[in-house]
Chain A
């Protein structure tokens, strides 16, 4: 018989091992699924996970995809630490793109060096504004932020769709639902020639460092952790839960908005009906894959970015449906949550009576 037995204290080893274990199990199950679809599992896994990063362009693409994931996941992780479940990062990302991108479209013939910095600020404000709505609803009316933030995602994406189909459609764009291309002054500089790696990637690294300082070394981070782990202790020492709800939703929203602006001012270069392949949702998995720790999130972001690249390649070379990407992401989250049980419990084989005698 297999039983779960509580550990006396959390296993530090399992905290780090469980993501690895989850990845291994995802690969195994993924291989089985490929086999059922009539593909050679090893070849398919190779195409999915190794081939995309077997040349320098592939690695640069990995960085481009990981950038928004990491930036968003850092913000979300702060909230998750404090038991604030913002799952509307996709909407906040979209609002950031609309705010920052809107500025670029308003000054579409500008050559000012201030345009890009202003767009960054507007992007962050747009995302934070979209995060502020669930914060207000939660703190004023005790409305569950999981629902409100998720529903606002659809509002934001439909709003973007309305803008690019209507008022912001490019007048010279042959009626395609796209905005004007952003002016050069409103585009992120490329930091490696010949790739799409842009300034946002460098900023993502700074965000990781700042996130680590905030969470592990600062009083605010300490408050976040106490509010999340022991709300009553937080009340006892006067760490206000409401303040933490506002802080994490504004921060998470702001970073998501920034990530959205990076997408439209970077790889895309204009506003389109669809600006993200679900980065805001995937970032939730990244946050957990990285143990809600900024450094872990950096690695988690790279791994999840790989599933996007691998999914594209699998479509092209193996003729697999694009849904395989989502499938892999889902399986990974599933195993990750399952493996997390092992940090608090250990697996025991054998019956209760046998254990009693040995003890």
Chain B
């Protein structure tokens, strides 16, 4: 297949690098891809847009040979091909950078790369090739470092280097920037543009529309498994593309005009806590305060201690900090378990819905009971009060427009967005004084996301202190009043959203406070830097 590269180059002109014609793929109870057709020319950076569940991942898996299409065909250089496995796809010249990396933590960069190659070669030859690719495309990476010592951005580079070593003609990237700082994103884009200039076709999958606008020349939009349109992202706005994706008009959340803040309701001071995960991030001297009516955003690249912070705040850890490290409405709670914290008026929404925020094979009524039984008085003499329990779930379903068959439905039968609305609704209806919410709209469709954002703003307007942990900077800019950035378990000083730029947050996410070894002075320095920029 690769032997006749010369003739391919000649005859290939006029053919698309990849063309997909009428691809259909059904799973039990859902038509994931419905008659999908699109083409990518060599050297083109093509975006595949769509919400979660629109069928993007299924399509990628078909192109990469992980799944087989039920109907339709895939053309490579104009010729119909059958791709039986990822091995076939790599052989043909398709490279895929996964959203979640498949790396072995305890092995070195070079060993991980060698594992993914189709043909086993001499390690020294491979090392030279790796170093050369890294140099050519500006991807600095020490081949002998162990993966567990690398940042997420560096891990992604391994995946990219892995693909580039095989001289791909088509490179597919699935949500590559969700784990990167804005600066790292810019570096990635440079690499991708250079690759495209050399004639490599790139299929770029993302729901971050400003990135698509900055990088891609063409876009195919999927909705509900179908192609609903194509466009040139350079001529669209992020809003117009979002509306194509969700198929309806988008309204920005209403922040209200005069936000006033009350007393401090959540206070974290000098909180240091060792992570209970093997490769987790220890919390180092974390400080923050959230006032009533205020929404504080915690930004940061995933894996910089956000999970540990959430667990510490929710009281999920095995080991507790000193009592004074966390205060809810002035009461020291760091030595309390989750139930006592909830009794004081704090509620929590974890990042993971399935099995953490909700029990998937229990009914919605039972899932409502799960966190609310105390505050909503759903027990009497140790027994569950069935009627109020069901009606509490019904109220959540009605108030938050949860699409379901009723309070008897299993939580696992709901879509991600609807289950998230249920979980957020469950905590908001308990009328909390403090709400800590992690990745409120992760994997949630745009309609549900804007409903959740509005609900959080409305909750804050009633005087609740809201802490939002999010990797999505757009989200933080859309709803937060103050922002802090976590990096390697440390936290930057809190700053008002109005005086901070996305670049500054990016620098903090990259761990700028490491320069000084101490968080606070570094932030002062950054604050000064920010002012100079504005001047």
Chain A 235-249 near chain B by CB (<8 Å), digits 1 or 0: 111101000000000
Indicate which residue in A217, A230, A238 contacts B359 across the interface (CB closer than 8 Å): A230
Q: Are A238 and B339 in contact (CB under 8 A)?
A: yes
- Interface range on chain A (Cβ under 8 Å from partner): 20 to 34
Of A221-229, A274-282, A294-302, the stretch lying at the interface with chain B is A221-229
Question: Given A8-B29, A353-B70, A356-B70, do A233 and B383 touch, yes or no (CB 8 Å)?
Answer: no
Of B166-174, B364-372, B513-521, the stretch lying at the interface with chain A is B364-372
Question: Given A238-B339, A357-B70, do A230 and B355 touch, yes or no (CB 8 Å)?
Answer: yes
Q: Does B360 contact A (CB under 8 A)?
A: yes
Most buried by B among A225, A233, A240, A355: A233
Most buried by A among B31, B382, B413: B382
Q: Which residues of B contact A353 (CB under 8 A)?
A: 70
Q: Are B355 and A232 in contact (CB under 8 A)?
A: yes
Cβ < 8 Å to A, chain B residues 356-411: 356-362, 366, 369-371, 373, 379, 382-384, 410
Q: Which residues of A contact B337 (CB under 8 A)?
A: 238, 240
Minimum CB–CB distance from A184 to chain B (whole Å) comes to 39
Q: Which residues of A contact B3 (CB under 8 A)?
A: none
Question: Given A232-B356, A238-B315, A359-B31, do A219 and B410 touch, yes or no (CB 8 Å)?
Answer: no
Q: Are B28 and A6 in contact (CB under 8 A)?
A: yes
Q: Are B370 and A10 in contact (CB under 8 A)?
A: no
Q: Which residues of B contact A218 (CB under 8 A)?
A: 382-384
State A156–B348 Cα separation when bound (angstroms). Answer: 47
Indicate which residue in A10, A219, A230, A355 contacts B384 across the interface (CB closer than 8 Å): A219
Chain A 320-359 near chain B by CB (<8 Å), digits 1 or 0: 0000000000000000000000000000000001011101
State A119–B379 Cα separation when bound (angstroms). Answer: 35
Q: Which residues of B contact A6 (CB under 8 A)?
A: 28
Q: Are B28 and A233 in contact (CB under 8 A)?
A: no
Q: Which residue of B lies closest to A346 (CB)?
A: B28
Q: Are B358 and A359 in contact (CB under 8 A)?
A: no
Q: Which residues of B contact A232 (CB under 8 A)?
A: 352, 355-356
Q: Are B362 and A237 in contact (CB under 8 A)?
A: no
Most buried by B among A5, A226, A238: A238
Q: Are B359 and A10 in contact (CB under 8 A)?
A: no
Q: Does A146 contact B (CB under 8 A)?
A: no
Cβ < 8 Å to A, chain B residues 306-327: 314-316
Cβ < 8 Å to B, chain A residues 1-43: 5-10
Q: Are B70 and A359 in contact (CB under 8 A)?
A: yes
Most buried by B among A6, A213, A236: A236
Q: Which residue of B lies closest to A7 (CB)?
A: B28
Cβ < 8 Å to B, chain A residues 153-167: none
State A254–B348 Cα separation when bound (angstroms). Answer: 37
Q: Are B359 and A233 in contact (CB under 8 A)?
A: yes
Minimum CB–CB distance from A230 to chain B (whole Å) comes to 4
Q: Does A220 contact B (CB under 8 A)?
A: yes
Q: Does B231 contact A (CB under 8 A)?
A: no
Q: Are A222 and B70 in contact (CB under 8 A)?
A: no
Minimum CB–CB distance from B418 to chain A (whole Å) comes to 14
Q: Which residues of A contact B410 (CB under 8 A)?
A: 9-10
State A235–B342 Cα separation when bound (angstroms). Answer: 13
Q: Are B314 and A219 in contact (CB under 8 A)?
A: no
State A233–B366 Cα separation when bound (angstroms). Answer: 12
State A236–B352 Cα separation when bound (angstroms). Answer: 11
Minimum CB–CB distance from B69 to chain A (whole Å) comes to 9
Q: Does B412 contact A (CB under 8 A)?
A: yes
State A359–B24 Cα separation when bound (angstroms). Answer: 10
Q: Are A217 and B338 in contact (CB under 8 A)?
A: no
Q: Are B413 and A233 in contact (CB under 8 A)?
A: no
Indicate which residue in B71, B348, B366 contacts A356 across the interface (CB closer than 8 Å): B71
Q: Are B26 and A9 in contact (CB under 8 A)?
A: no
Minimum CB–CB distance from A242 to chain B (whole Å) comes to 10
State A230–B71 Cα separation when bound (angstroms). Answer: 39
Indicate which residue in B25, B379, B412 contacts A9 across the interface (CB closer than 8 Å): B412
Q: Are B384 and A217 in contact (CB under 8 A)?
A: yes
Q: Which residues of B contact A213 (CB under 8 A)?
A: 383
Q: Are B384 and A233 in contact (CB under 8 A)?
A: no
Q: Which residues of A contact B359 (CB under 8 A)?
A: 225-226, 229-230, 233
26 contacts between A and B (CB under 8 A): A5-B28, A6-B28, A7-B28, A9-B413, A10-B410, A217-B383, A219-B379, A219-B383, A222-B366, A222-B384, A226-B362, A229-B361, A229-B362, A230-B359, A233-B356, A233-B358, A235-B338, A236-B314, A236-B316, A236-B348, A236-B356, A236-B357, A236-B371, A237-B339, A238-B315, A238-B340
Given A5-B28, A232-B356, 16 additional A-B pairs, CB 8 A:
A7-B28, A8-B413, A218-B383, A219-B373, A225-B359, A225-B362, A226-B359, A230-B359, A232-B355, A233-B355, A236-B350, A236-B356, A355-B26, A356-B24, A356-B71, A357-B71
Chain A interface (Cβ < 8 Å from any Cβ of B): 5-10, 213, 217-220, 222, 225-226, 229-230, 232-233, 235-238, 240, 353, 355-357, 359
The 9 closest A-B pairs by CB, nearest first: A356-B70, A238-B338, A359-B26, A238-B339, A230-B355, A230-B359, A238-B337, A232-B356, A9-B413
Chain B interface (Cβ < 8 Å from any Cβ of A): 24-26, 28-29, 31, 70-71, 314-316, 337-340, 342, 348, 350, 352, 355-362, 366, 369-371, 373, 379, 382-384, 410, 412-413
